[in-house]
A and B are shown apart, each in its own frame.
Chain A
Amino acid sequence: MHIPDGYLSPQTCGVMYAASAPFWYMAARKLKKTLTSKTVPLLSIFSAFSFVIMMFNAPVPGGTTAHAIGGTLIAVLLGPWAAVMGVSAALFIQAIFFGDGGILAFGANAFNMAIVLPFVGYGVYYLIAGKADKESPRYWIGASIGAYVGINAAALCAAIEFGIQPLLFHTANGTPLYCPYGLSQAIPAMMLAHLLVAGVVEAVVTGGVLVFLKKSMPALLSDLRKEVHA
């Protein structure tokens, strides 16, 4: 889902930066408000964790593998605003230092994976789990369903960003200047892959990590949220 530079017009990239900016501003304000010497390393290290999640290839039926993004997992562990900062930082470093995702397209990538994904994922999780105890199956089931819905919402946003390019940006003779696939092609292509493969991996990884933490390190789950909300 990492969009490289060249697929989206600079105008679209500009709009996506503008759409992401209020979320970054709010997240930075919240971070500054609660900024303690402990918040900075916690966020930095969880940003690094977010980067590492995206490196894991999980096998899927058919012999191929898919990546998780982990936005909902971080939102459930640390809260959605911390996930915005954490996943954005990981995406930024991927774009600048590792060439995964473009620099102009960073606003779009962050909007999809660091804003839409954790907020939708966390919203669905909260609807299902509410204030359920960490021992309740609603906790990890809610997070898994949230992760599934979140990554699909992010994929839909990316598909729309791709799909509007040939409608808006082409030469007089019809040569597409950016992504050549229209909405009717980009949406089914992106959604099919995410509804059937990537969404399932995201849900399994998110639920699996929470079940593991609940069994092996139960105190950590409440400690993490307390640190961020302290």
Chain B
Amino acid sequence: MASDFVVKTLDETTRAIEQSIFANRFARKDGFLQRLDPRFKLVGVLCLILLTGFSGNLKTLLFLYVLTLGFAIASKVPLGFFVKRVWIFIPIFSAMIVFPAIFNVITPGAPLWTLVTFSSSHTVGPFVIPKTLAITKQGVMGALILVMRVATSVSFAVLLIVTTEWIKVLKAMAVLKVPEVVILVLAMTYRYIHLFLRTVEAMLLAKKSRQVGDTNIKEAHGWIASRLGVLVGKSYNLSSEVHLAMLSRGWSDNPRLIEDFTVGYLDWFWVALTAGIIAVCFTLR
């Protein structure tokens, strides 16, 4: 049904609102990652994501993934929440995408399991179906590596965001030489995303509560275009109001971030730990 788009968009909007509200729900707990200086944590996590990207064998990726579970426990992030947050959507979706690649149609190699033997090979569009259709060792290994790499990368990113207040993540980006005006734009964007999500949610609920029967595709497109048009108008009016609010609070055209970060012994331990993890991964290669 064309009207399903309202439910789907509402679902996504609600999920995004929930994520934006609860993104930092564990940031104030007294855990290992929470105690780190956000700048050290940001750089360390980026190094570990990069290391995950370079890791090309399952053993290293499993080691890194188990490490993320360890960090979650040490940071008082409940494992059930953490595993669910990581695996639902991206890695499961990746597993579905990569599934056809386990067959020798996509990844030729040593057969693990022969499925069908045809009289000859066939060509279907861009695919060549070989005489013997099989699941290959290379295909399965490639798929496992991809899914584990995706899950491990997402795990590190989730750890960063659930253990750090969002404004501190953005402020920490100054250490990566990101211009202050860009950080300011990002910080404001994050705030207004939350506001717009609420607005969109209200629009969708209003439509859903007033709708009787199905909507055809043309009507649905017209409704979406008109709501986005209204949002453009709201955006413009809101930006004028925010501008006046900024001026009234003494805005200068050279924004400066106030940093209140302090470096402690734990941060240097984190540096050593990250270096140690990198060294272990090199020995596992």
* A positions within 8 Å CB-CB of B: 4-7, 9-10, 13, 28, 31-32, 35-38, 40-49, 51-53, 55-61, 63, 65, 70, 77, 85, 89-90, 92-93, 95-99, 102-104, 169, 171, 173-181, 184-185, 188, 204-205, 207-209, 211-213, 216-217, 220, 223-224
With known contacts A45-B192, A51-B189, A176-B138, A220–B232 Cβ distance under 8 A: yes
Please determine whether B190 and A97 come into contact, CB atoms closer than 8 angstroms. yes
Shortest C-beta distance, B174 to chain A (Å), equals 15
- The answer to whether the Cβ of B81 comes within 8 Å of any Cβ in the partner chain is no
Is the beta-carbon distance between A45 and B220 smaller than 8 angstroms? no
Most buried by A among B4, B139, B193, B233: B193
Q: In the complex, which residues of chain A have a beta carbon less than 8 angstroms from the beta carbon of B2?
A: 59
Contact among A40, A61, A176, A224 with B188 in the assembled complex (CB-CB below 8 Å): A40
Interface residues of B (CB under 8 A from A): 1-5, 8-9, 12-13, 16, 19-20, 23, 46, 49-50, 52-54, 56, 89-90, 94, 98, 101, 106-110, 125-127, 137-139, 141-143, 145-146, 149-150, 152-154, 157-158, 160-161, 166, 169, 179, 181-182, 184-186, 188-193, 195-197, 200, 217, 220-222, 224-229, 231-233, 235-236, 238-240, 242-243, 246-247, 251, 253, 255
Q: Which of A6, A96, A180, A209 contacts B139 (CB 8 A)?
A: A180
- B193 partner residues in chain A, CB cutoff 8 A: 48, 51-52, 90, 93
Partner of B236, one of A31, A32, A103, A220: A220
Give every chain A residue within 8 A of B231 (Cβ-Cβ): 49, 52
Q: Are the CB atoms of B232 and A77 closer together than 8 Å?
A: yes
Cβ of B138: which chain A residues have Cβ within 8 Å of it? 171, 173-176
Are B166's CB and A37's CB within 8 A? no
- B153 x A4 contact (CB < 8 A): yes
A41 to B181, CA, bound (A): 11
A5, B49: Cβ atoms closer than 8 Å? yes
What are 30 A-B interface contacts by the 8 Å CB criterion? A5-B150, A6-B149, A13-B53, A28-B181, A31-B181, A32-B179, A36-B253, A38-B243, A40-B188, A40-B246, A41-B188, A41-B239, A42-B243, A48-B196, A49-B235, A52-B228, A52-B231, A55-B13, A55-B197, A57-B5, A59-B4, A61-B217, A90-B193, A96-B160, A97-B190, A99-B158, A176-B142, A180-B139, A216-B226, A217-B233
Q: A175-B141, A220-B232 are in contact. Are A44 and B125 (CB under 8 A)?
A: no
Q: Chain A residues near B90: list those with CB within 8 A.
A: 4, 99
Give CA–CA (A98, B161) in the complex, Å.
9
A92 CB contacts on chain B under 8 angstroms: 186
Chain A contacts for B200, CB-based, 8 A: 52, 55-56
Say whether A177 contacts B56, CB under 8 Å.
Answer: yes
Task: Report which of B126, B146, B152, B253 forms a contact with A178, defined as CB distance below 8 A.
Answer: B146
Task: Verify B253–A37 contact, CB threshold 8 A.
Answer: yes
Flag if A89 contacts B192 (CB, 8 Å). Answer: no
